[in-house]
Structure 1
Amino acid sequence: MSRNQLSFDVLSDKVIGEFSWRRKELTLLKNKIPSVKNPLQSAMIRATLPLLYAHWEGFVKVSLSYYLEFVSYKALKHNELKTQFIALSLQKKIGALKENSIQSKTQIIDFIFSSSEKQSNIPTKNIINTKSNLGYDVLDEILFIMDLKDVHFESQETLINDLVNERNYIAHGEHKLIDYDTFTEFFNDTISLMEYLKTKIENSALLETYKKPAPNTGNRCTSP
């Protein structure tokens, strides 16, 4: 894909499509779960909850990979980008430099400063790593890399950790059951969080929050 092909509209379509098919599949399954407690209800909750987690993890990984590609294809200069994206662009070259002496550390600093006017080359493969266990700490690290952290994600820490824990209980064969109301709350909150992330990506792309803020060039008042 050429750089000018990954426009905001293309990114938005990709992220919306990714969210929509996942929500549709999960809703179809949820609607099959009996609202009255019985063995079928318990079995379907145990079957659907790991899939709910899988769609959450998958959406995080795929949608943020699209966003990273969107930023990468802009090919901005390093001095136009937020620090996280500069670090991604330069990490391979910096990692090749030894850091065990003041001389080598000085070389790293010189390299960073000398690269400020150069075009970025942000890698996109294997950057969004959910570690197949997307607890809050892992998500927080990913959001930091993408400069997408905010208080709403922080407020959902318990939900995110509970969701991965419930998935693990089932995956490890433990006979731990949650009731229908608790599952419904998990379901609704997870779908809402996926939608929030979708909107966050779209807004960040549209507002170009990946760029370093322009310096304040307003005139300063001076005393006569």
Structure 2
Amino acid sequence: MKIDALRAEMEEDLSWRIDEIRFFQNTCASVGSEVGQQRFRKALVVLLYANLEGFAKLVFTTYVSAINAEAVACQEANLAIAAASLSDVFRYLRDGNGRVPDYKKLKLPDDAQLQKFARDREFLSQALELMQRPVAIPDKVTSTEANLGRDVLRKILYRLGLPHEDFEDIEPDLERLRNLRNNIAHGDAKQGISKEDYEKLRDSTFRIMRDLMLRVTHALLSKQFLLSTADTYEANRADFFM
């Protein structure tokens, strides 16, 4: 796994996003009146959120792609990664209409509960083989649901086996930005945004993006996606973030 190359890709993506935001900030400064600038900053807030959500998606997608490329067996991955990789199997098990191959040949009753039992039995017969299957995390695991906030972030982290406790310090700022974006989009924030309030939002947004990149990079470096490295990650993460 080429961590340096992955980090460079994320850094490059973050750089153009920051440049774009600053370009429109400069455009805002050229607006003649303060009232006009306050109204313009509402659009800047929407831009901040869009870039934060887009960057978060890129960071988590990079993490997933890097893990998939390692082709580790499900039995070697942490439980979240293994469960995500076997989502097609679990979906089949939960499907009330799922049919075990050759079920009719068994000459058993056409009973829904018995068919469910047959699926469970088939799963156990293939469990060893399934756990040796290479990890393949589907894209939907990193979905931001077009509404990235505390709850959606926690969903993504949980599905990837990353402790959301490591990200709790950024959650208040993330929620603040998301709520203001929603208010603007819904027409509730009729008043403009002051320069001071905007700059606080901008600085916290940049911090969140950098923190996401830093912490996901550390998760890759420490191979937290492996079942055997969870304890090592817990022991080393404090030193890494100092």
TM range (shorter): 0.7 to 0.9
From 130, 139, 144, the counterpart of 2:153 = 139
Report which of the two structures shows the higher radius of gyration computed on alpha carbons: 2
| Alignment match, 2:170 | 156
Over 3 Å counting, the alpha-carbon distance change for 1:214 and 1:25 in structure 2 is closer
Over 3 Å counting, the alpha-carbon distance change for 1:144 and 1:96 in structure 2 is same
Unaligned regions of 5+ residues in structure 2, if any? Answer: 97-112, 232-242
| Alignment match, 1:127 | 141
CA contact (8 A) 1:129 1:142 kept: yes
CA contact (8 A) 1:78 1:86 kept: yes
Q: Deviations over 1:32-55 (max 9, x none)?
A: 444998123212211110000000
From 212, 216, 219, the counterpart of 2:227 = 212
* Equivalent-residue separation in structure 2 for 1:108 and 1:167 (angstroms): 49
Q: How many residues align?
A: 211
Over 3 Å counting, the alpha-carbon distance change for 1:23 and 1:147 in structure 2 is farther
Q: CA deviation at 1:109?
A: 6.5
The range that moved more, 47-56 or 135-144, is 135-144
SS class of match (1:62)? helix
Over 3 Å counting, the alpha-carbon distance change for 1:20 and 1:104 in structure 2 is farther
Unaligned regions of 5+ residues in structure 1, if any? Answer: 1-5, 217-224
Residues 27-176 of structure 1 correspond to what in structure 2 (within 5 A)?
27-34=22-29, 38-98=34-94, 103=117, 106-107=120-121, 110=124, 113-115=127-129, 117-174=131-188, 175-176=190-191
CA contact (8 A) 1:136 1:160 kept: yes
Q: CA deviation at 1:103?
A: 3.0
Residue 17 (str. 1) matches residue 31 (str. 2): no
Q: CA deviation at 1:189?
A: 0.6
Opposite residue 84 of structure 2, the aligned amino acid is L
TM-score (norm 2): 0.76
- Output the aligned Cα RMSD: 2.8
Over 3 Å counting, the alpha-carbon distance change for 1:214 and 1:126 in structure 2 is closer
Q: CA deviation at 1:8?
A: 2.2
* Equivalent-residue separation in structure 2 for 1:152 and 1:178 (angstroms): 31
* Equivalent-residue separation in structure 2 for 1:99 and 1:126 (angstroms): 19
SS class of match (2:136)? coil
Over 3 Å counting, the alpha-carbon distance change for 1:207 and 1:163 in structure 2 is same
Opposite residue 82 of structure 2, the aligned amino acid is I
Q: CA deviation at 1:156?
A: 2.5
Residue 188 (str. 1) matches residue 183 (str. 2): no
* Equivalent-residue separation in structure 2 for 1:37 and 1:108 (angstroms): 71
| Alignment match, 1:177 | 192
* Equivalent-residue separation in structure 2 for 1:189 and 1:98 (angstroms): 42
Q: CA deviation at 1:151?
A: 3.0
Q: Which has the higher helix share?
A: 2
Q: CA deviation at 1:22?
A: 0.9
Aligned sequence identity (%): 24
